[in-house]
Amino acid sequence: MPLKSPPPTTLANAPKPYFFYGHRKPTQHRPSVRGGLFSNRQTINPNSKIQRPPPSQPPFDLSRWDPDSLPTRPNYTEDDPSEKFFSVAKTLSPIARYIVDSFRKHGQWGPPLVADLNKLRRVTPKLVAEVLKVPHIDSRLSTKFFHWAGKQKGYRHDFSCYNAFAYSLNRTNQFRAADQVPELMDMQGKPPSEKQFEILIRMHSDANRGLRVYYVYEKMKKFGFKPKVFLYNRIMDALVKTNHLDLVMFVYEDFKEDGLVEESITFMILIKGLCKFGRLDEALQLLSRMKENLCKPDVFAYTAIVRVLVGEGNLDGCLRIWEEMQRDEVEPDVIAYGTLVTGLCKKNQIEKAYEFFKEMKEKGYLIDRAIYGSLIEAFVENGKVGSACDLLKDLMDSGYRADLTIYNSLIKGLCSAQRIDRAYKLFQVTIQEDLLPDYSTVKPLLVSFAELKRLDDFCRLLEQMKSLGFSVRDDLSKLFEFMVGKHDKILLALELFEHLKIKKYCNLSIYNILIESLKRIGDVRKALAILDELRSSTFEPDSVTYSIAIQCFVGVGDVHEACTCYNKIKEMSMVPSIAAYHSLGKGLCSIGEIDASMMLIRDCLSNVSSGPLEFKYTLTIIHVCKSNDAQKVIGVIDEMMEQDCSPDNIVYSAIIYGMGKYGTIEEARKVFASIRERKILSEADVIVYDELLIDHMKKKTADLVLSGLKFFGLERKLRAKGSTLVPG
């Protein structure tokens, strides 16, 4: 018969033993006690519900951590800028990905980030180096992480960690802190090796920080290291590239003291540095030593030297090096010839360049199109357009197709030689060959047509430009800017302007250019006539037009009309030009409108970033006048003159305004007397400004009296009596 299982024990009839789960507090006789059944005490209230602890979060399991899951990234969006940062982290090991993701989530070092890092059992130097190599990490986070890892129990940074830390600092442009990594290694019991200094030198060399390279080199010597030949070469090359030849020679002296033997690269670095600074004799001496040491320079070395000399414009040195190359029986290649010919063309030594060009032809070299282009441009600049055209034919016979730069140069040369029809044919060739001509192509043609009074051809060319997609309006504005830039072509520009008005090719920009040029040459009446014509046309003047008009009206003494133009600009919510501000300010001061001019000065300085220096000193003078001390005002004027800013009527009006508002007539007269003693003002000018000072004081006094009458309500009574104090 099968045994019966005991009936299940229910909560009501079962004994209520007391269980203790967890560790019991250890004592001297029982150091560790595990919880279990140790008592049969009954609960006080058997009917009471058992208090269960609240559900805790599951323990962190790194194996289940998924950086791509949405719960891990609750703020995930497709356009999240951190996606680029995190995509780089996907190439890392899982634990490194976890650390990088913690950096991304928290963004700054703090307890939450440290708590995430403390979940890791341990970090290894390999893991630290891997994290520090990740780009886009904030340097503050990488630095904190590096020091946090160094404080872990039983952990020590290795060389890879220090190297990765230096790269991380340099990547965030903290190269000065990276230079201190060797000292940090020494303090932490890990003396740096030559490799650490080599890394720093390479980083600074790649960034063209020559002085930092020399700084690391000096530090390297303090640590007792002597660079090898390849590192010496890198140091000297970095110093040559950053134009520190004196430091290069110091390093070279150390090189020789260390008993090292120069390589061909060492000689080439030094020779290029000496050529760069024009010390050709020393360079030739080094070249001789290079040959003695069985390091005969090849064509590549000579080409590099020639390129350096061409870059510095030392063509005599180029020819000396070329002769040295021929003495060494080194056959120059196409690149060497091209470098020399191009340099000679840039320095306008076209005859010598053409000799080397013929030498290349005799040797059967395949001549590059760039060499043809340099020679053609040089011939055109020298007025030898026929030779340039012959080179173009030679270029095409060689199987090349001329580019737009060559055609532009030839068109310009033909136009200068008054061969406009042939230049126009070349322009048609550029269209047939789909070279997309631009403004520089058509500008010589337009100028030549205008000079030869062939205005119908001029307009025909404009129509063709429009069909080719040119911005005719902008190109015409550029053309007029070019023509008015030369004094002898301003009248030609006016004639062309009259013809273009009939053809309806004019625009507002052309009007502004002509008005500005006429104002510049002093023909203000003609400028105002064109301005009146503009107002009666369909074009609406803009702020540039009114700014130029202000200067023109002030030039003819019509300040009120200039103020009208200023108000027009303000109605357009625009700002006048600085020249217009300055001209109108002087005009207002010349007619005695001192208060208005001071308001204009404040408006100018509040709207422009760099106003006239006189305006800035004007406000300073007004502020100094509050002290009612003539010597302080004179001190400001002396400071102005030290800045090469001579005082004008704006400054003198500021003295009148400031003393009239804050000072006295006597102090103002002292200022003008001191200016007269320094022979800045004539005696007649002092009398004029004295009268202006008295008139301004009277006006201010009348304004004060009128304000008092209005305040006490007496203005109406005085009007009734016909008082002269109140204007009717």
Tokens of 97: 């990905």
Q: Which residues does 567 contact at the CB level (< 8 Å), separation at least 6? A: none
What does the pLDDT look like over 94-125, one tens digit per residue? 888 888 888 888 888 888 888 888 888 788 88
pLDDT exceeds 80 at position 550: yes
> Closest Cα to residue 247, out of 257, 259, 238?
238
On the question of pLDDT at 84 being above 70, the answer is no
DSSP state, 313?
T
Q: What does the pLDDT read at residue 17?
A: 46
Among 604, 591, 607, residue whose Cα is nearest residue 695: 591
* Whole-angstrom distance, CA of residue 163 vs CA of residue 558: 74
Q: Pick the more confident residue, 697 or 205.
A: 205
Helix, strand, coil percentages (3-state) for the chain, rounded to 5, are 65, 0, 30
The DSSP code for 360 is H
Query: Does 414 score more than 80 pLDDT?
Result: yes
What three-state secondary structure class fits 401? coil
**Lowest model confidence (mean pLDDT) among 214-223, 314-323, 390-399, 435-444:** 314-323
Q: How confident is the model at residue 237 (pLDDT cuts 50, 70, 90)?
A: very high
Cβ neighbour number for residue 443 with a 10 Å cutoff: 18
Vertex 399, ends 393 and 401: CA angle to 5°? 70
pLDDT, tens digit (0-9, with 9 covering 90-100), for 455-464: 999 999 999 9
In this prediction, residues 8-15 reach a mean pLDDT of 49
275 pLDDT band, cuts 50/70/90, is confident
In-domain check, residue 536 = no
pLDDT computed for residue 65 by the predictor: 52
* pLDDT at residue number 487: 81
Supply the DSSP symbol for 626.
G
Selection from 660, 652, 666, 669 nearest residue 703 by Cα: 660
pLDDT of residue 63: 52
How many Å apart are CA 517 and CA 542, to the nearest integer? 17
Residue 650 CB: number of other CB atoms within 10 A?
24
Measured distance between the N- and C-terminal CA atoms of the chain, rounded to whole angstroms: 138
Distance of CA 722 to the CA centre of its chain: 69
Find residue 34's DSSP bridge partners: 23
Provide φ and ψ at 38, rounded to 5°: -135, 0
Nearest to 651 by CA among 600, 690, 697, 598: 598
* Residues in contact with 7: Cβ distance below 8 Å, sequence separation at least 6, in sequence order: none
| pLDDT above 80 (res 600) | yes
Query: Which of 59, 76, 57 lies closest to 67, judged by CA?
Result: 76
pLDDT tens by residue, 186-202: 888 888 988 989 999 99
Rounded Cα gap, residues 565 and 577, in angstroms: 12
Residue 718 included in any domain? yes
* Helical axes 613-624 vs 630-642, angle rounded to 10°: 160
Question: Contact 411/441 with Cβ under 8 angstroms?
Answer: yes
Across 222-226, 623-627, 704-708, least confident range: 704-708
φ, ψ of residue 700 in degrees (nearest 5): -65, -40
CA 519, CA 515: separation in Å to the nearest integer? 6
Return the pLDDT at 71: 43
* pLDDT the model gives residue 72: 46
Residue 214's pLDDT band, with cuts at 50, 70 and 90, is very high
pLDDT band at 584 (very low <50, low <70, confident <90, very high): very high
**Tokens of residue 568, six digits:** 């027009």
Picking from 170-174, 247-251, 567-571, which range would have the lowest pLDDT averaged per residue?
170-174
Cα 227 from Cα 233, distance rounded (Å): 10
Contact 384, 391 (CB under 8 A): no
Report pLDDT for 193.
87
Amino acid 2: pLDDT = 46
CA 460 remoteness from chain centre:
43
In the structure, what pLDDT confidence band is assigned to residue 140 with cuts at 50, 70 and 90? confident
Phi, psi angles (nearest 5°) of residue 23: -90, 135
Q: What is the pLDDT of residue 19?
A: 42
One-letter amino acid at 461 equals L
Q: Which residue has the tokens 């708590």?
A: 115
Residue 179 forms part of a structural domain: no
Which residues form the domain of 699? Answer: 622-728
Q: Which two structure tokens, joined as six digits, stand for 198? A: 């080599």
In a domain, 492, yes or no: no
Pairing mode, strands 37-39 and 18-19 = antiparallel
Residue-by-residue DSSP string for 128-175: HHHHHT-TT--HHHHHHHHHHHHTSTT----HHHHHHHHHHHHHTT-H
**Would residue 628 count as lying in a domain?**
yes
Q: What is the pLDDT of residues 377-401, one digit of tens each?
A: 999 988 899 999 999 999 888 888 8
Residue 691 lies in a domain: yes
pLDDT at 85: 52
- Please state the rounded mean pLDDT for residues 483-491: 86
- Compute the C-alpha angle 16/19/20, nearest 5°: 155
Q: What is the pLDDT of residue 449?
A: 93
Question: Is the pLDDT at 308 greater than 60, yes or no?
Answer: yes
Let me know if residue 685 belongs to a domain.
Answer: yes
* Sequence-separated (6 or more) residues with CB below 8 Å from residue 1: none
pLDDT at 155 over 90: no
Indicate the pLDDT class of residue 684, thresholds 50, 70 and 90: confident
Q: What are the b/e assignments for 558-587, b being 16+ CB within 10 Å?
A: ebebbbebbebbeeeeebbbbebbbbbbbb
Tell me what the mean pLDDT of segment 288-296 comes to. Answer: 78
CA distance linking residue 228 with residue 258, whole number of Å = 10
Please give the Cα distance from 89 to 86 (Å, whole number).
5
Q: How confident is residue 325, by pLDDT bands cut at 50, 70 and 90?
A: confident
Which residue bears the tokens 């290349």?
Answer: 360
- For 233, other C-beta atoms within 10 Å of its C-beta total 19
| Predicted pLDDT at 43 | 43
Tell me the C-alpha to C-alpha distance, in Å, between residue 123 and each of 28, 131, 715.
Answer: 37, 11, 91
The span from the CA of 429 to the CA of 439, in Å, is 16
Which of 209, 205, 208, 215 has the alpha carbon at shortest distance from 182? 215
Report how far residue 240's alpha carbon sits from residue 247's, in angstroms, rounded to the nearest whole number.
9
Rg (CA), the chain: 43
Q: What is the pLDDT of residues 631-682, one digit of tens each?
A: 899 999 889 888 888 888 898 888 888 888 888 888 888 888 888 888 888 8
pLDDT tens digits, residue range 348-383? 888 888 988 988 888 888 888 889 999 999 999 888
pLDDT at 421: 93
- Looking at residue 307, its pLDDT comes to 85
Q: With respect to residue 369, please indicate whether it lies within any of the assigned structural domains.
A: no
pLDDT digits (tens, 9 = 90+) for 502-548: 888 888 999 999 999 999 998 999 999 999 999 888 889 999 999 99
Domain count, the chain: 1
Whether the pLDDT of residue 478 is over 80: the answer is yes
Burial of 404 (0-12, 13-18, 19+ CB in 10 A): middle
**Which pLDDT belongs to residue 24?**
53
Question: Residue 137 — very low, low, confident or very high, per pLDDT cuts 50/70/90?
Answer: confident
Give me 300's structure tokens: 């590549």
pLDDT tens track for 245-254 = 999 999 999 9
Q: Which residue has the tokens 């600049």?
A: 381
Position 52 pLDDT exceeds 80: no
* Closest-CA residue to 232 (of 266, 194, 268, 272): 266
